[in-house]
Amino acid sequence: MSKEIIIRSNSSAVDFALLKDGKLIELHKQNDGNKFNVGDIFLAKTKKTISGLNAAFVNVGYEKDAFLHYHDLGPRILSLIKFIKGVSAGKIKKFSLDKFPFETEIDKEGSISDVVSPNQPLLVQIIKEPISTKGPRISSELSFAGRYLVLVPFSNRISISQKIESREEKSRLKRLVQSIKPKGFGVIVRTVAKDQKVAELDKDLQNLHAQWIELCKKIQGSESPLKLQSELNRSSSILRDIFNDSFTGIYVNQKSMYSEIKDYLDQIAPKKQSIV
């Protein structure tokens, strides 16, 4: 079976086609120039809360305020707010969460006005890009997606992809991740982690933890709104999410993207560079 990705880039958009045995299975289109992509993380500021919607409008630097619903605050939002305050004031200088005392989780059916207030600094992540008259949808439950794992600050939970069906493999992965997971962080194990060795998982985890540390370094003394971290460029994020060893070809129409993809494959699957 042949499995190929075709990537076509022009001045305004990037198209991705996924083929199996020459037949089109998926087609994606990404418009270039969007500064508010799913996965981007911002230091933002609450503008106002709307009790009727149980939501807040938040300034992330877009022409329309972003929308933050109570259920997208995440259970550990009080811990996040306390952490941001400490980092901004220079009182927290070590950004690992192993000694950071968590606050009580918020009530699942609570009111947003009891948690955040106008001019409240927040760390938020884009979960839905802006469209026409609406600003982006955001969440304060942050996540950092890697090749095999997703790192979730202010959590201790380990979740395994439902697509991994073997109980033995799920147990093995949970044990491995438990042994390498930094305290204060949760981990979601992605499907492609199946059968991977601990060294590969640990490398991925260390990279994600380093991203968190670098993000925290940018908070102190910064004015909001400020983009703290961008999602991977679209070609790399597509590869991160769908690529595996069964792919037989990746075709691109642009030299810069060719180099970009080769560099990314060098990180995640160096033996497959030749298929580009």
Question: For the segment 82-99, what is each residue's pLDDT rounded down to a tens digit?
Answer: 999 999 988 998 899 998
User: 182 pLDDT exceeds 70?
Assistant: yes
Cβ atoms 144, 151 nearer than 8 A: yes
**Residue 47 φ then ψ, to 5°:** -90, -55
Distances (CA, A) of 180 to 200, 215, 239: 11, 21, 25
Top pLDDT among 138 and 240 is at 138
To 10 degrees, the CA torsion angle through 251, 256, 259, 261? Answer: -50
Which two three-digit tokens encode residue 259? 């180099």
Give the β-pairing of 66-69 and 55-59: antiparallel
Confidence of residue 132 (pLDDT cuts 50, 70, 90): confident
Confidence of residue 34 (pLDDT cuts 50, 70, 90): low
Q: Which residue has the tokens 């299975």?
A: 25
Confidence of residue 13 (pLDDT cuts 50, 70, 90): confident
Q: What is the pLDDT of residues 241-251, one digit of tens each?
A: 778 788 999 99
Nearest partner of 230 among 36, 8, 4, judged by Cα = 36
Kindly report the pTM of this predicted structure.
0.81
